[in-house]
Amino acid sequence: MKKMPWLFALSLVPTGVVAWADDGPAPDKGAYTLFNPVPDARLRGFCTDRPTKSTGPCTVDAGHLQVEVDLVDLAVQRSGGIRTQTDGVATPTVKLGMTNTLDLELSLAPSLIVKTRTPTETSSVQGSGDLYLRAKYNLVGDDSGRLAVAVSPFIKIPTAGHAIGNGKVEGGVVAPVQYTTGDGLQLLADPEVDLLEDADGRGTHLNIVNLISVTRPVTKTVSLSGELWTDTDFEPTRTVVQVSLDLGLAWIPAALPMWQVDGGVNFGLNRSTPVTQVYAGLSHRF
């Protein structure tokens, strides 16, 4: 497979999320907890893990709740004459700020529809997805500075039916690293290591995810996002590599700074990756 130059891919579209850091000293907010919430006047700028596949280093302020919802998500995969379409509706991620640098997160797809079409027949299965539990701990840069780093371990609880999930507990850890330049350009890397169940159920293997994105607000309320994403699954029977170029758009209305509307499209760059994925979402901080 021919490799795409990463820097060239990143130059295609600048990306954007709302910056929450500056060059000044970090404000002292260590006394705030789940039961002693950060006052609204001291909240960080609204920061989500949407759109695109990226996980940012920012956490939700202590004592506050944030909900990020995939209103609609459609992915199409073609392989060997088989077309598979996966539809997700109203998939939420709920985040709760525990301390100034730690939040806990939960996500679950309540309704997934997987449609498979071959040259001779069409079939469809429907059900809920797996439950994901995640913690995100910010090491530096939550409130100030150009560099921000976090660590985010997660575990998958197998709540999906066997027609949709594999029925196994799996997990991993993401370590987002972000740097913001003086003109507001944000560069983000998301190295991730997962431990997945073998297809035959007899052991486990590694799955490595890498993501590089560029972020730039285009106005005070609108940002564009673009990233190059790779996923390498070291399944013992065969290694599967997925690659995609992902583009996204986010809008935080000036009159509603606690809301974000977003959408995006992902383009598969090899045969193992879904050809296209389109989605739209809504986020709100309470």
pLDDT tens profile 176-200:
999 999 888 999 999 999 999 999 9
Report the residue count for the chain: 286
The 8 Å CB, 24+ separation contacts for 193-200 are: 194/170, 195/170, 195/171, 196/170, 196/233, 196/235, 197/166, 197/168, 197/170, 198/235, 198/236, 199/235, 199/236, 199/237, 200/237
User: What residue ranges define each of the domains in the chain, with the CATH number in brackets?
Assistant: 6-285 (2.40.160.40)
Q: How far apart are CA 233 and CA 132, in angstroms?
A: 19
What pLDDT, on a 0 to 100 scale, did the predictor assign at position 131? 98
Entry pTM: 0.87
Arithmetic mean of pLDDT over the chain: 90
Opening angle at CA 44, ends 43 and 49, nearest 5: 125
- Is residue 25 pLDDT above 80, yes or no? no
Q: How confident is the model at residue 27 (pLDDT cuts 50, 70, 90)?
A: low
Q: What is the pLDDT of residues 132-153, one digit of tens each?
A: 999 999 999 999 899 999 999 9
- Is residue 43 pLDDT above 50, yes or no? yes
Q: What is the pLDDT of residues 80-128, one digit of tens each?
A: 788 999 999 999 999 999 999 999 999 999 999 999 998 888 889 999 9
Which amino acid is present at 187? L
What pLDDT, on a 0 to 100 scale, did the predictor assign at position 15? 37
